[in-house]
Amino acid sequence: MSIRPQKHSLTLKGHRTSVSLEPEFWTAFRDIAAAQSIPINALASDIDASREAEVGLASAIRVYVLAWYKDCSGD
């Protein structure tokens, strides 16, 4: 398990931004986008649009990933 975040670029509503996530979160995030049959940029845009202003995008993505897997486990 790697604890060092990796920075990747995303395009949100036509503008580029960088997000740093641990490799395991990137993998899970890509898997979720694939499961929903949407591009990762579209999923990131949805998360960005629904987050509170004081919550960073990387944090919002991590919480989304955790919630997704929690819902999948039936908890």
The DSSP result for the chain, as a single string, is ---S-EEEEEEETTEEEEEEE-HHHHHHHHHHHHHTTS-HHHHHHHHHHHS-TTS-HHHHHHHHHHHHHHHHHT-
pLDDT at 75: 58
Question: Which pLDDT tens digit goes with each residue over 18-72?
Answer: 999 999 999 999 999 999 999 999 999 999 999 999 999 999 999 999 999 998 8
Q: Quick one: average pLDDT of 10-18?
A: 93
pLDDT at 5: 94
pLDDT at 31: 97
**Looking at the predicted structure, is the pLDDT value of residue 2 above 80?**
no
User: For residue 29, what are its two tokens?
Assistant: 């995030």
Whole-structure pTM value: 0.90
